[in-house]
Amino acid sequence: MTGKVEVTLNNFFIFNSTYGNNEGEEKNKILFYHPNTDHLDTQIKNVGLAEAIIQFTASFKPDGPIKSVHTLKRRQMYFQPEPNFWVVMTLNLPFIRKIKEGSEIIEYTEEDVQDNVYESVLKQAYHMYRLFSGTFVQAIEKTSLDILKTKLEQFFTSYFTTLKLHHCDIVNIFNGIQCLPLDKQTFLNVQCFINAMECNFPIIKHTAFLYNDHMIWSGIEPSNMQIVYQYLIKTLLPAHLGSELLCGSMPRNQPSPFAALHHGRFITGPENLKASTSIGKIPRVHLYSDTDCTIYHLVVYRALSASVCLFIEEKEELDMKIFKELDDFIGPALTVIVSDIAEYCTKQVVTPSSQSETNPKFIYFNKMNLAYKSSVHLDNKQTGNIAVTKECLKLISDINANKDLLEYAGEVIVKTMNDYWVVGKMSNLREFYVALQQKNASLIEISDEVKKLCDTELKGIFFHSL
């Protein structure tokens, strides 16, 4: 029997190296450990080994802490998000079972696990926790160490169920925000709606506006919006409105099948304004600046395919009255705006012929505003729904891992054994990756194809000439 077993999570733990220094108190270093079915002695052994590796390698790597350790069967990733706190993730490497001369042989494919991809997965786990619970230090200062352990247990036990480790790729490195460019008039309508809402409701400090899973406007810092966006499109919206995330336009000037929705409803907040007696559970999010952290209520309102995210400071008291007033204001106005956006998007629909499998596929990322665009990934759900081979995606991640060698601007062109060409282009903190399958093409022809793709897909975006 032959077959391949994909990468899996072996363990995940968080510890503080300053706790439990006395003999017999080693367990006090462990703040969280998954899986909790592992015996305490196993947990202490694994944490102690990780701590020893960190301390030993610090002598040889003064420029920064260790990031990963490679072994035959496993890969261990390290991240120090706060002083003395370490987050460690251990992966079981994928392997292939083969039968040779009547015996089963296991071959581990360590090249399928790329450090830069899973380093990003590890960091994303911490940042997602920090979004809802703040830093480890904040939790200890405001409450206690035991409360921190409880928060870690509650969050990560649920978080691991959402991880799709074998589908992680370049998207996890970027964690970008897909934006939806609109024509001037439609964008102005969105902006006027947001300005009017914030003027009428001063408790709203910031607003974000999404259509389906694309960002149109955000009033918070990109680094904060990056995490909030990932939560919205991967957790909150799919859980409540999976069927509505499908693209489509809303007919104008005729009865709408969505009319029964009464223009919209709150995704976080009261489920039913007429029947609910309480405002329900509203998540609190921690947004960070260079100097401080501010906690906000995250109120999300959905009308048809649009989502409006309202950031209201924690100190503000929310009641049913304010939610009814918000519904009366947002619902009718948002329905009209969604109609305009849907009509514009319908005109931009790409014809099936231009989506041919032989056409070049690309990934674009702008580090300055975290904007991301891809024709390689056919959705945001990371289910393996991709338009190129996994080998191409791994090659793109490898180019990304070595992009610093290109300094300010540069280009890398690679040809694979199965006649794929992969191009990586960096300039002005922008990254552009293209995958083409052309058997007999020359370098000049490939460069011309990439240039055409830049002109058609990235209009107005400047790349330095080499």
The pTM (predicted TM-score) of the whole model is: 0.90
CATH number of 335's domain: 3.30.450.30
As a whole number, mean pLDDT of residues 174-190 equals 94
Range with lowest mean pLDDT among 110-119, 248-257, 348-357: 248-257
Q: Measure the CA–CA gap between 30 and 51, rounded to whole angstroms.
A: 11
Where are any strands of DSSP class E within 55-199? 68-70, 74-82, 85-92, 95-100, 103-108, 177-178
61-72 residue pLDDT tens: 767 789 999 999
Query: Quick check: is 41 in a domain?
Result: yes
Torsion of CA 454, 456, 457, 459, to 10 degrees: 80
DSSP 350: P
263 confidence band (pLDDT: 50, 70, 90): low
Give the residue from 220, 298, 295, 243 showing the smallest Cα distance to 266.
Answer: 298
Query: Quick check: is 465 in a domain?
Result: no
As a whole number, mean pLDDT of residues 262-269 equals 81
182 confidence band (pLDDT: 50, 70, 90): very high
* pLDDT score recorded for residue 248: 41
126-172 residue pLDDT tens: 999 999 999 999 999 999 999 999 999 999 999 988 889 999 999 99
Query: Do 140 and 36 share a structural domain?
Result: yes
Number of domains in the chain: 3
407-431 residue pLDDT tens: 778 889 999 888 889 999 988 889 9
Range with lowest mean pLDDT among 3-17, 120-134, 200-214, 344-358: 344-358
Give the residue from 443, 413, 441 showing the smallest Cα distance to 426.
Answer: 413
* Cα angle 331-310-270, degrees, rounded to a multiple of 5: 60
Give every strand in the sheet of 95-100, ordered side by side. 3-5, 95-100, 103-108
Containing structural domain, residue 204 = 178-347
The sign of the dihedral angle between the CA atoms of 11, 17, 19, 22 is positive
Query: Do 360 and 309 share a structural domain?
Result: no
Query: Do 227 and 142 share a structural domain?
Result: no
Range with lowest mean pLDDT among 105-119, 174-188, 358-372, 404-418: 404-418
Residue 384 has pLDDT above 90, yes or no: no
Cβ burial of 457 (10 Å; 0-12, 13-18, 19+) is middle
DSSP 367: T
Q: Measure the CA–CA gap between 29 and 46, rounded to whole angstroms.
A: 12
Query: Quick check: is 464 in a domain?
Result: no
Query: Do 336 and 192 share a structural domain?
Result: yes
Query: Quick check: is 438 in a domain?
Result: yes
As a whole number, mean pLDDT of residues 89-108 equals 90
Residue 112 has pLDDT above 80, yes or no: yes
Cβ burial of 261 (10 Å; 0-12, 13-18, 19+) is middle
* pLDDT score recorded for residue 1: 52
As a whole number, mean pLDDT of residues 102-106 equals 85
